[in-house]
Amino acid sequence: MADVIDGIEIEFSAIPARGGKTKPEKFPFSKLPTSDKGASGAIEGPSFFIPESEQPEKHITQARKALPKVAGEPEFLFHARSATKTVDGVEQTGKRIWKTINPAFKG
C-alpha cells in the first residue's frame, strides 16, 4: 500500500530519461587544439573566427558549459578577442577564439 502524506499518495517510481538531443557543434570548440604562451608571453596557436551575426558569446557560453570536468584531467579555457575578417571581399567583425589549458591545473 502506498504512503499518504497530507492527503497526497506517495508512490515509488524511477525518473524517466529526459531524451534531449545534443546538437552537433556549429563551431569546432571541442576539436580545437590548445594554444600556449609564446616567447612574447601572448597566447599563440590555432584559433577560429565567429562573425557577430552568429552571436559568438552564445556559442562560447554553450561550449564552456558543454566541456566535461573530469577529476585529474585538464580543464580548458576559451579566450575570445574582437577581430575582423574579410570573407568574399566583405569585412566582418566578430570574435577570434583560442583554447588553452587552465593554468591552475596541477596534473
pLDDT at 21 over 70: no
Q: Higher-confidence residue: 20 or 72?
A: 72
pLDDT at 82 over 80: yes
Total domains in the fold of the chain:
1
φ/ψ region of 53 (left if φ > 0, alpha if ψ in -120 to 50, else beta) reads: alpha
- Structure letter (DSSP) for residue 95: E
User: Are residues 91 and 49 in contact, defined by beta-carbon separation less than 8 angstroms?
Assistant: no
pLDDT on residue 79: 93
pLDDT on residue 22: 66
Question: Whole domain around residue 52: which residue ranges?
Answer: 26-101
Q: Which three cell numbers stand for residue 97?
A: 577564439
Residue 5 to residue 99: CA distance in whole angstroms: 52
Helix (H), strand (E) at residue 86: strand 76-87
What pLDDT digit, counting tens, does each position of 28-56 carry?
998 899 999 888 988 899 999 999 999 99
pLDDT at 78 over 90: yes
